[in-house]
Structure 1
Amino acid sequence: MCANICTKRDLKDLCEVEDYETGAFIRSTFTYVDEQDIAWFGRTADKRKYHLTVEDLNRLLQEISDEKIYPLKNSSISMAKLLPQITLEEAKVLEFLKQHPHPNIVKYHGCTVNRGYITGIALEKYEIILQYRFEDVPHDLDIVACMDGIRKGVKHLHLLGYAHNDLNPTNIAIDSDDNPIILDFGSCRRFGEKLLTAGTYGWIDGEYATSAQRHDESAINKIEAWLKEEKNKRATMAT
């Protein structure tokens, strides 16, 4: 059985593992979840993520059995609480944020169940991710307005006592009005709490193990600098 993806954007994640001290490339890793909630995982030390082709990905992706990643459905537990173990902490945060909504934070609807297993968290769907905004939308992006929305969403989190701890362009969606929507709360915790996962290489200043406001402040500055660089790059290409 083959994963049979058609484009890299079908992937759930496409990452690189690098040596933290030297920055040397170690391997590329990638995950995919198909329409039946069957999960796939692949990795290779032979190619960096930008050089991987769709043919490479389909060849390397291996199906993961349900029991290895999904817990069994328990009818005695509220559907809103039925979540995979690996996303349980994220679900707790989203349950809390659902009681304290903000227009720049993704809407959480509960969880999904398939084949008797809890297969994921159900969130509002957005077609565009900030990482690909310049590629997917022809008109220019108002960087000032975009950053203002990101800062407002993050400020809301901070006022509630939480830090996101993994802000980067792949964790921010863009709605039809170009408003930024913060996603992926797997590393979001109250200030001072220990983290299971933290940050994305290239968007953090260094390794950290506890949640802190300064992680988000640093990431926001990096995102703004990246947006300006991307905008200038597109303008240069157009001339």
Structure 2
Amino acid sequence: MWSALKRNYEVSEEIGRGRFGTIFRCFHPLSNQPYACKLIDKSLLLDSTDRHCLQNEPKFMSLLSPHPNILQIFHVFEDDHYLSIVMDLCQPHTLFDRMLHAPFSESQAASLIKNLLEAVAHCHRLGVAHRDIKPDNILFDSADNLKLADFGSAEWFGDGRSMSGVVGTPYYVAPEVLLGREYDEKVDVWSCGVILYIMLAGIPPFYGDSAAEIFEAVVRANLRFPSRIFRTVSPAAKDLLRKMISRDSSRRFSAEQALRHPWILSAGDTAELT
């Protein structure tokens, strides 16, 4: 597999490292176009869940490409020991890194969440739920375009099929997932709503000192807008948050509905809404 990769790409320096593998910068020799190459060591996959995630990522990324806000996959090379995925080269800092600083302005937050929702709506139209949307999985390319990544936990829900299984990350996972119920693709909209809340407030809507406490707060889903923090946030932004972070998934917005909300359509320009 390594020789097959090197026949097609010039592999350069290491630029990242994860639980299962290493990411290298690589170049296509004809175009000299830079890419990222994720090299996964299969011997590090400890159980069937890990192996399932390994197979999921290239499968779903290939189905969903190309889309301007989804990390694009270009080549997959595989043998008995390694899997290598050639994909978009992105900046080293994720949305999580950007959110460590001061809260975003409404126009900045609206622009980012619009791009994220467009990626999610594309996934949902093709019957794919991401199921682990969080700031760490939101990248940016060299032109600063948002790219949704990491489809290892993704699942099909087409043909009216529901999903099950506790998948996701504390702070961002929807309550119906934690309650062990069957659920639909709107779990992704909940996660996007939580990200939007943090972008505007600088804190998560549901929190605790441990994963268990965070999960308890998520299940209660007592959504609040502390006046000290939200005094400068527009009523339109808070209205969208209520509709995305709705404990009742039947009343929760779909990604398409969220994209049609006036706050998104006005690009967070609150003056335009008054």
> Do Structure 1 and Structure 2 share a fold, with TM-score over 0.5?
yes
Return closer, same or farther for 1:93/1:210 CA change in 2, 3 Å cut-off.
farther
Q: TM-score, normalised by structure 1?
A: 0.55
After TM superposition, give the deviation of residue 176 of structure 1 in Å: 3.8
Q: Paired residue for 2:198?
A: 226
Q: Is the 8 A contact 2:16 2:23 kept in 1?
A: no
After TM superposition, give the deviation of residue 218 of structure 1 in Å: 0.6
Unaligned runs of 5+ in 1: 1-8, 13-30, 37-64, 71-83, 234-239
Return closer, same or farther for 1:219/1:34 CA change in 2, 3 Å cut-off.
closer
Q: Is the 8 A contact 1:187 1:197 kept in 2?
A: no
SS at match of 1:155: helix
1:77-116 aligned within 5 A: 86-98=53-65, 101-112=66-77
Identical positions, percent: 22
Unaligned runs of 5+ in 2: 1-14, 25-40, 204-227, 230-274
1:154 aligns with 2:106: no
1:183 aligns with 2:149: yes
Q: Is the 8 A contact 2:171 2:194 kept in 1?
A: no
Q: Paired residue for 2:82?
A: 118
Q: TM-score, normalised by structure 2?
A: 0.49
SS at match of 2:202: helix
Return closer, same or farther for 1:177/1:125 CA change in 2, 3 Å cut-off.
closer
Higher RCO (CA-CA < 8 Å; seq separation 6+): 2
| Whole-angstrom distance in 1 between the partners of 2:17 and 2:166 | 20
Q: Paired residue for 1:33?
A: 21
Q: Which has a greater percent of helix? A: 2
Q: How many residues align?
A: 162
Q: Paired residue for 1:201?
A: 170
Q: Answer with 1 or 2: which has the greater Rg.
A: 2
Q: Is the 8 A contact 2:42 2:82 kept in 1?
A: no
List per-residue Cα deviations over 1:177-213 (Å, max 9, x = no partner): 4432110111222223656772112211232576622
Cα RMSD after superposing both structures = 3.7
After TM superposition, give the deviation of residue 119 of structure 1 in Å: 3.1
SS at match of 2:69: coil
What letter matches 1:143 in structure 2? A
Q: Paired residue for 2:8?
A: none
Moved more, 163-172 or 119-128: 119-128
| Whole-angstrom distance in 1 between the partners of 2:60 and 2:194 | 25
